[in-house]
Amino acid sequence: MRLGWAGKAAIAASLPVVVGLAAFLLVTVHRLGKVTRDSLDHSLLREARGVARAVARGPFDAGELQKWAHELGQDTGARITVIDEDGTVLADSHVDDKDVGALENHGERPEVAEARAKGEAIRTRHSRTIDRDLLYAAVRVPGSMRVVRIARNLAEVDAALRDASRTFWYVALGVGGAGVLVAALFARGLARPLGELTAAAQRVEAGDFSARVYPHGSDEVARLGHAFNRMTVQLRETLARAEAEAARLSAVLEGMNEGVVAVDAQERISFVNGAARGILALPPDAEIAGKRIYELVREPRVLGLVQAAASGRGPVEAEIRHDGPPRRLVQVRAAPVGTGVILVLRDMSRLRRLEQMRTDFVSNVSHELRTPLASIAAAVETLQDDGARLDPNEGPRFVQMIQRNLRRLEALLDDILALSRLESRPETLPREPLDLAGVVRAACEELMERARQAGIALTVRAERSRVVGDGVTLRRVLDNLVVNAITYTPRGGKVDVVLEPRDGAATVEVRDTGIGIPEEDLDRIFERFYRVDKARSRSAGGTGLGLAIVKHAVGLHGGTVEVKSRLARGSTFTVRIPLAAEAAPTGAADAGASGEMAL
C-alpha cells in the first residue's frame, strides 16, 4: 500500500511525540524502579536497626531468640536472621526451631561481614538457601559483634514494579495512539485543500482556465488557494493576449505577397505562409511539418543561405530557380531570428515577365512605326524629284501614300496611348452610371456608312443595360469589335450587334459572317500586335492593338470578353459587364430606348 500525503504527514507529525513519550516512559520506569529500590533499602535498613536494638536489649537465650524471630518474621513477612559473633546462626524466622543449629555458618556472607566491619550493609544477592534474589539488610547489634539480618524477597517488589510499568506503557500507548489520530486528522484537514489545489492545477494544465479553488479561512493553504485563483486569471489573460498577438501575426504573414518560411536550429521548417506555399509549390502543412528545408527545396543555395544567416555570415540573399511546376525565379532573403532563420521569398517570375513584355512591346512598337515611316520617307524622297511631283498621276499617288501612312501612324499612336492610359492609370478612369445601349447605338450609327461601303449589313438591337464605368473607354471597346467584324467579313456579309441584360451582366454580342479565326489563334488574338493575317490587318488599317485594348478595358470594368469562331463561317465576340444596381424604377421616358432598331 502506498502512503498518501496525509498518511506520511501523520507519521511525520506523530513520530517525535511517540519517540519522546517512549523515552520519557523508559526513563520514568527506570527512575521509579530506582526510587522504589532506594526506599525499600532504607526501610529494610530501618527495620534491621530496630530489630538490632531489640536484640541488644535482650538478653534472650537461644530458644527465646528463635521464637521471637519466628514471630517477628510472621508479622512482617520478612526473613529475620540473628548471627552470632562467630557466624553461627542464633535464630532464623524462616527455619524451624530445631533446624537452626543445622544452618551453615553465616560469618562469611558478604552483608554479614560488611555489617560487622562497618556497622551496617545492604546487598542484593542470590540466596542459595531458598534459591531466589533477595535484598539483605544487615546491622551490627549495638554493644556486641552479633549481626541482625533482614531479607526480603525481591520477586514481589519486581512484580509490583512490572505492574506499575505495564500501566505506564498502556497509558503511553493510549496517549501515543491519540497523538497519531490527532496528527492524521490534522494532516487530512491540510491534505483536502491541497488535493483540491492539485486537481485544479491539473485542469489548468489540461487547458481549462475556468478551474477555481474555494479556500476557507485565512491560513497559508487558503492564501495559496487565493494566489492560485489569481494566477489562473492572469494566465488566461496572458494566454489570450498571446493568442491574439499570434493570430494577428499569422494574419499579417498570411496576407503578405512575399513568401515566409521559418526554419529552426535543426533546419526543420516550423512555419510556412500561403505565399511561400504557392511560390515553392509545397504540399499541405501536414506533410511539411518537421521536414528539413532541403527535403522540400532542392536548391543547395537555399540551405547555404540558411546556414550563412544562422552563423551570421553573408551573403544572405540570392536569386534561385525553383523547378516548379511551374518553374519560377525566386529571390530569397535569409535573416537570423532567435536560434532559427526566417526566409523571405519573392516570386520574380511575374516581374521578369512584365519586364520582358515591356521590352517586347517597345521593340514591337519600333517595328510597327518603322514601316509607315519608311513608306513616308520613300514617298517624300520621290516627290523631291520634280518629274514625279509634277506628274499628274504619280504626284497625287505619292501624296495619298504619305497621307495613308500618316493615318496609320496616328492610329497606332492613338492605340498605344489608349493602352498605356488604361494600364498605367486605371484609377483615373471616370466611373459613372450609364446606359450601355446608348454607347452601342452611337458606335453602330457611326460605323453604318463604313459597313455600307464594305457591302455589309450592320444591324443593332440594344436593350437598356445600366452599368458603371467610362463611356469613352466603352465606346472604344464597341468601335474596335464592330470595326474588326466589318474588316474581317467579306462583301455581302452580315454583322449583328445585340445588347441585353443577362444573368446580372450587360451582354454585348458582336456576330459576323466573316472569315473566322483559326482555332490555334483564338487564345492569342488578345495579345498585343498579334494578327492572324498581318497583311490583311495592315491593309485594313489595323494596329494589332484593338483586341488588347478591348480585353484591358473590359477587365477594368469588372467584365470579361470571349470569342467563338469558325473558319469561313464567322466569329462572335461576347462582352459581359456587371449591371449596376438599379437606383430608381424604370421611368416611362426610357420605354422607347429598348427594342430592335435597324439603322
Chain residues that interact with ligand ADP, rule: CB under 6 A:
480, 484-485, 488, 512, 514-517, 525, 530-533, 537, 542-548, 571
Pairing of strands 79-83, 89-92: antiparallel
Pairing of strands 457-462, 494-502: parallel
Kindly give, in sequence order, each residue whose CB lies less than 8 Å from that of residue 25, ignoring residues fewer than 6 positions away.
Answer: 165, 168, 169, 172
Indicate the residue among 225 and 546 with the shorter CB distance to ligand ADP: 546
Indicate the residue among 466 and 552 with the shorter CB distance to ligand ADP: 552
Indicate the residue among 168 and 530 with the shorter CB distance to ligand ADP: 530
Indicate the residue among 77 and 490 with the shorter CB distance to ligand ADP: 490
**What is the closest distance, in whole angstroms, from the C-beta atom of residue 439 to ligand ADP in the complex?**
18
Could you give the maximum distance between any two Cα atoms of the chain, in Å? 206
Which of 503, 520, 506 lies closest to 565, judged by CA?
520
* Phi then psi dihedrals of residue 581, to 5 deg: -65, 130
Quote the CA–CA distance of 152 and 161 in Å, as a whole number: 15
Per-state percent for the chain, helix, strand, coil, to nearest 5? 55, 20, 25
**What is the closest distance, in whole angstroms, from the C-beta atom of residue 499 to ligand ADP in the complex?**
17
Indicate the residue among 139 and 517 with the shorter CB distance to ligand ADP: 517
**What is the closest distance, in whole angstroms, from the C-beta atom of residue 416 to ligand ADP in the complex?**
12
Identity of residue 583: A
* Phi then psi dihedrals of residue 522, to 5 deg: -55, -40
Query: Are 259 and 344 contacting, i.e. CB atoms less than 8 angstroms apart?
Result: yes
Indicate the residue among 179 and 546 with the shorter CB distance to ligand ADP: 546
Which of 432, 492, 488, 424 lies closest to 457, judged by CA?
492
Pairing of strands 505-512, 494-502: antiparallel
Report the run of H or E that residue 269 belongs to, with start and end.
strand 269-272
**What is the closest distance, in whole angstroms, from the C-beta atom of residue 553 to ligand ADP in the complex?**
12
Quote the CA–CA distance of 399 and 380 in Å, as a whole number: 8
**What is the closest distance, in whole angstroms, from the C-beta atom of residue 463 to ligand ADP in the complex?**
23
Indicate the residue among 51 and 547 with the shorter CB distance to ligand ADP: 547
**What is the closest distance, in whole angstroms, from the C-beta atom of residue 359 to ligand ADP in the complex?**
20
| Helices 154-205 + 5-56 axis angle, to 10 | 170
Indicate the residue among 135 and 547 with the shorter CB distance to ligand ADP: 547
Indicate the residue among 85 and 523 with the shorter CB distance to ligand ADP: 523
Which of 426, 580, 594 lies closest to 506, judged by CA?
580
Q: Extract the C-alpha cell encoding 422.
A: 488604361
**Exposed, middle or buried, 227 (CB in 10 Å: 0-12/13-18/19+)?**
exposed
**What is the closest distance, in whole angstroms, from the C-beta atom of residue 489 to ligand ADP in the complex?**
7
**What is the closest distance, in whole angstroms, from the C-beta atom of residue 481 to ligand ADP in the complex?**
8
**What is the closest distance, in whole angstroms, from the C-beta atom of residue 569 to ligand ADP in the complex?**
11
